[in-house]
Structure 1
Amino acid sequence: MTRALLLLALPIGIAALSAGPSRADNPIGQVPAIREGLIATGIAVEISDKCDDLQPRVLRGLAYLESLRAHARELGYSNDEIDSFVDDKAEKNRLEAEARARLASMGAVEGQGETYCAVGRGEINRDSAIGRLLRKARVAR
């Protein structure tokens, strides 16, 4: 899931030029919209890594992650707090474990790419947050 970490951390870790507003009450990892958004993004990337039939929608994913960063700033988190959260290895490991556990509960089985494809196609059909971050792979001509 190294690629997932890169896609998760890169846009969120980009420092903004202006200072953020005052600190929010809860740790950033406990904000449901941010937590769920990062997990959905990680799941989509993991599916695209394990299923040759599906690709990540990279630009859409980057825009989505930037919207999560903006949401964190709106809630009062500073850019330094956001960057610290993104750089926290324990938090990355926790989110990765949650993403993998959810994928398994959705039917994905490690080493069986078709199970990841089935989950991904189902998410696309449901137009879920995960599904909106995936698309069918283009066939080379």
Structure 2
Amino acid sequence: MNPIPALALGLTLSATPLAAKPPLSEVPFITEGLIDTGIAYEISEVCDDIHARMLRGLGFLLSLERHALDIGYSRDEVDAYIDNKQEAERLEAIARARLADMGAVVGQPETYCDVGRREIAAGSQIGRLLR
């Protein structure tokens, strides 16, 4: 084996900066999962006929946390994200806006029920968190 190509490869790799991780608030798998959970929760709170699948929801949230750890975020980074009130408010606002786009109208619980039934029938992530 010629040591020159190996040395060149080593120098090239060491000169390449490691890509910085984006903040967890910019990781779509995490944020979309949290938004879906928020939508399911809101539906279950407003619609008396539809309930949250609590164990499934907890399992899903733990899977999001596990994913963040698996892709290189530290426990401290994950905990800081979980405790970030501004981020929670931002995601709640997105969830409520999406719910409205899906047909839910504040003050009209049946519209939340309609959205929930559609999501359950579609087998979406939101629907899998409801029964």
The alignment's TM-score, normalised by the length of structure 1, stands at 0.78
Is 1:126 equivalent to 2:122 in the alignment?
yes
SS for the counterpart of 1:134 is coil
In structure 2, distance between residues paired with 1:106 and 1:93: 20
Partner SS state of residue 22, structure 2? coil
- Deviation at residue 30 of structure 1 after TM alignment: 0.8
Answer with 1 or 2: which has the greater Rg: 2
Is residue 62 from structure 1 mapped to residue 30 from structure 2 by the alignment? Answer: no
- Offset of 1:42 from its aligned partner? 0.5
Residue 84 (structure 1) aligned with residue 69 (structure 2):
no
Count of aligned pairs between the two proteins: 113
- Return the TM-score normalized by structure 2: 0.84
Unaligned runs of 5+ in 1: 1-23, 136-141
Deviation at 1:119, TM superposition (A): 0.2
Residues of 1 paired with 2:82 and 2:63: CA distance?
Answer: 15
Q: Which residue of 2 aligns with 1:33?
A: 29
Greater fraction of residues in helix = 2
Q: Residue 45 of structure 1 corresponds to which residue in structure 2?
A: 41
Cα-to-partner distance string for 1:52-108 (whole Å, 9 max, x where unaligned): 000000000000000000000011011110111111111011000000000000000
Unaligned 5+ segments in structure 2 are: 1-19
Residue 25 of structure 1: SS of its match in structure 2?
Answer: coil
Aligned residue for 1:55, secondary structure, equals coil
Secondary structure at 2:119 match in 1: helix
